[in-house]
Amino acid sequence: MDRKQDIKILQSCPFCKIEKMTTKSGMTAHIKYCVKNPNRVIYKGHSVDDETRKRISDSLKVAIREGRASGWHKRKKGAQSYPEKWMTSVIQNEFDDKDFVDELHIGKYRLDFAWPHKMLYIEIDGQQHNFEDRKKSDIEKDAFCKKLGWTSMRLQWSYICQNKQKAISEMKDFIDNGKLSLIVWENPKEKLKREVAARKLERQKDNEARKELILNSGVDFNSWGWKTKIAAILGISRKCATSWIKRNMPDLYKQSRK
């Protein structure tokens, strides 16, 4: 039996007044999430606790080791992964020097893309290179090759995906012109995490300095007017000063004359 097609009609949102041709229930999702809807549903994403995050990380390590992980993963013999195919295509179409060797053996190591006549090689790092044991192995590999006269450029695949043209230009300059760029980049989530931790540390240092200033001020918390004095010392309002003392120096707040 053929499925009947839903009849589309012109409908409008009661909040933003936008009009569009849709089915009878087609505006339901729009109205639910409409930015002008005072009771709209706000999607906050999924929260993951530390235990779950560790379990996912351990599972990913096993998947990479067994060659089941997606992306830059352990490939079957003779087959190239997508990043390798992409890089090979870039070299053939963008580079002046196309005389490269992939998976070149140097001692116990293999170089992703090497130019032996120039003693240069490029490493494309996938997600498995974020693990500490793999980072250590990469450092040892680069140090070993450097002693033999090799120079390396190492890029993360995630960096390439988000800065494709810039990455191609940097790799081309490295091979064709001998210019090694210092690529400073990190995953946006890791960058945000680092910035939040830095701000938290800065607040802690600031709070410790304020505590030291208050303790050395000689303010008597058992007398009236201590809030005004603390506000003057910290350079904030009496209300904010009270909240700050209550939050950061609870013992003094409890013994004070409120």
Other beta carbons within 10 angstroms of residue 144's beta carbon come to 14
Per-residue pLDDT at 36 = 83
CA 251/CA 245 separation, integer angstroms: 9
The CATH number linked to 171 is 3.40.960.10
Per-residue pLDDT at 114 = 92
* C-alpha 4: how far from chain center: 46
Closest alpha carbon to 175 in 125, 109, 116, 103: 116
| Together in a domain, 57 and 172 | yes
Tell which of 112, 145, 176 closes a domain.
Answer: 176
**pTM for the predicted model, two decimal places:** 0.47
> What long-range pairs does 89-97 form, CB within 8 A, spacing at least 24?
90/168, 90/171, 94/168, 94/172, 95/171, 95/172, 95/175, 95/176, 96/172, 96/176, 97/175, 97/176
Q: What is the DSSP string of 165-177?
A: HHHHHHHHHHHHS
| Together in a domain, 172 and 236 | no
Q: Is 16 helix (H, G, I), strand (E, B) or coil?
A: coil
> Does residue 182 form part of some domain?
no
Total domains, the chain: 3
Closest alpha carbon to 103 in 81, 131, 118: 81
pLDDT tens by residue, the chain, 258 residues: 444 556 778 888 888 888 878 876 778 888 888 878 888 877 655 566 777 767 766 776 676 566 555 544 445 555 677 888 899 999 999 899 999 998 888 888 889 999 999 999 999 887 666 667 777 888 888 899 989 999 989 888 888 888 888 889 889 999 988 887 666 556 667 778 888 889 999 989 998 999 998 888 888 888 888 888 888 988 889 888 888 888 888 888 887 766
> Does residue 183 form part of some domain?
no
- Pairing of the two strands 120-125 and 151-156: parallel
* AA letter at 139: I
Per-residue pLDDT at 125 = 83
The answer to whether the beta carbons of residues 114 and 104 sit under 8 Å apart is yes
Domain that holds residue 30: 1-44
Tell which of 27, 44, 61 closes a domain.
Answer: 44
Closest alpha carbon to 20 in 31, 5, 33: 31
Per-residue pLDDT at 205 = 92
DSSP assigned state of 122: E
Report the number of secondary-structure helices (H) and strands (E) in the chain: 10, 6
